[in-house]
């Protein structure tokens, strides 16, 4: 009969991808033995982990190599690690704050923010999306949701769609043609209300869809909220890069980690034959990533379905999950979740769970 020690010793060979330290050493897996069955309790660092299949394969093979083990059951416990927080943090129940920014408009930043949010939620994470583009809110249109948030006990209840909690100035305007004509102090006050006075609840990820450029909004957020990091959205052509470099430099000056670069409109996908062409050139994402000292975590094709379904108010990851654009968004969301994990590891040197675990059903 196999022992717990023999199984634990065998699975100690399985490493966490990207960190190359054993899962056992990182405190992410524990073994139990019931006769010829090994039960492995695995703490994933995110429900959207891109490494789940690789980890499962490695653990199964290692456990089955132990004499006496004929069956392996895995119990998954996704437990997202939290960011650093100040004692007066306005959103203490939000584990991670991720800024989605770009150096200029027209690169599809809001499309990226919307689709990444839904992809993370569909993976099982608790997600919120804050439309911080006060002058040009687009989240209500892209998410296909209208209505006014309710006030409850002095707080604002966010709207929700597809498992994502939402807040936007667009919900408070008469219609989508109403202009917001505010000076800086009013703008900052509204933004911080959307942060601190909205009942976001417990979230794994809160994404901020920032306005383009390097204006006051990003500076206000960096001063008032400790962010996990930012992702930078760009397009491949050279003309877009100069402004993107400025956005990266701003993050570096205010100590916001760059989690990765998303190259949108990376290639054009023909809707008939699915052939891909680099209409806007190539290499822009890599140049930005090199400048920022990070990686390209996603390349989103110029898929007509992204625009079509975005205009209809149903993001493509929900409407056409089989499309090239949707597949790229899901892959990018997983890469983002992994980069958040790596950022926490770089900060703390550990991935051990911090809070009480809630065990999930056995996954065979």
pLDDT in tens, 73-126: 999 998 899 998 888 899 999 999 999 998 777 788 999 999 999 999 999 999
What is the bridge-based pairing of β-strands 205-209 and 97-101?
parallel
End-to-end CA distance of the chain: 22
The residue to which tokens 């416990």 are assigned: 77
Calpha distance 248→246 (Å, rounded): 5
Nearest to 140 by CA among 114, 112, 115, 105: 114
Domain 97-348 listed as CATH 3.40.50.300 = yes
Angle of helix 324-348 relative to helix 109-122, nearest 10 degrees? 80
Give kind and range of the element (H or E) at residue 296: strand 296-302
Quote the pLDDT of residue 214: 62
Residue 237 is encoded by which pair of tokens? 């052509």
According to DSSP, residue 298 is labeled E
pLDDT in tens, 33-73: 999 999 999 999 999 999 999 999 999 999 999 999 999 99
Quote the pLDDT of residue 200: 94
Quote the pLDDT of residue 181: 47
Residue 54 is encoded by which pair of tokens? 């690789």
Quote the pLDDT of residue 111: 93
Quote the pLDDT of residue 207: 97
Q: Which residues of the chain, if any, have pLDDT below 50?
A: 181-183, 355-364
Tell which CATH classification among 3.20.20.450, 3.40.50.1820, 3.30.300.130, 3.90.1280.20 matches the domain 4-78. 3.30.300.130
Calpha distance 147→115 (Å, rounded): 21
Contact status, residue 222 vs residue 113, Cβ threshold 8 Å: no
The set of residues, in sequence order, having a beta carbon less than 8 Å from that of 105 and lying 6+ positions away, is 136, 212, 213
Domain edges within the chain: 4-78, 97-348
Quote the pLDDT of residue 279: 73
Name the phi and psi angles at 293, rounded to 5. Answer: 70, 40
């Amino acid at each position: 009969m196999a022992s717990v020690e023999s199984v634990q010793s065998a699975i100690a060979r399985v490493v966490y991808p990207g960190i190359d330290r054993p899962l056992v050493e990182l405190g992410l897996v524990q073994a139990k033995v019931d006769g010829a069955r090994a039960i492995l309790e695995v703490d994933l660092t995110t429900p959207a982990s891109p490494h789940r299949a690789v980890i499962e394969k490695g653990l199964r093979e290692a456990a089955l190599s132990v004499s006496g083990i004929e069956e392996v059951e895995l119990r998954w416990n996704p437990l997202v690690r939290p960011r650093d927080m100040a004692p007066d943090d306005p959103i203490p129940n939000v584990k991670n704050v991720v800024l989605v920014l770009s150096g200029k408009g027209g690169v599809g930043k809001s499309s990226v923010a919307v689709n990444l949010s839904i992809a993370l939620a569909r993976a099982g994470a608790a997600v919120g999306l804050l439309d911080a583009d006060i002058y040009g809110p687009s989240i209500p249109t892209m998410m296909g949701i209208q209505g006014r948030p309710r006030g409850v006990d002095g707080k604002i209840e966010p709207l929700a769609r597809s498992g994502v909690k939402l807040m936007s100035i667009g919900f408070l305007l008469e219609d989508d043609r109403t202009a917001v004509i505010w000076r800086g102090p009013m703008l900052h006050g509204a933004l911080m209300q959307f942060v601190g006075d909205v009942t976001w609840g417990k979230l794994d990820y809160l994404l901020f869809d920032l306005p383009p450029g390097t204006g006051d909004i990003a500076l206000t957020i960096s001063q008032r909220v400790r962010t996990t990091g930012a992702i930078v959205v760009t397009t491949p052509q050279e003309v877009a890069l100069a402004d993107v470099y400025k956005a990266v430099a701003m993050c570096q000056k205010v100590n916001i980690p760059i989690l990765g670069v998303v190259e949108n409109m990376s290639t054009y996908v023909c809707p008939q034959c699915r052939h891909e062409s680099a209409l806007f050139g190539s290499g822009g994402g890599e140049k930005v990533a090199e400048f920022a000292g990070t990686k390209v975590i996603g390349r989103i094709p110029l898929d007509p379905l992204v625009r079509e379904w975005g205009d209809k108010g149903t993001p493509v990851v929900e409407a056409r999950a089989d499309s090239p654009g949707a597949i790229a968004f899901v892959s990018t969301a997983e890469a983002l979740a992994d980069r958040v994990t790596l950022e926490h590891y770089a900060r703390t040197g550990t991935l051990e769970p911090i809070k009480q675990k809630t065990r999930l059903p056995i996954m065979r």
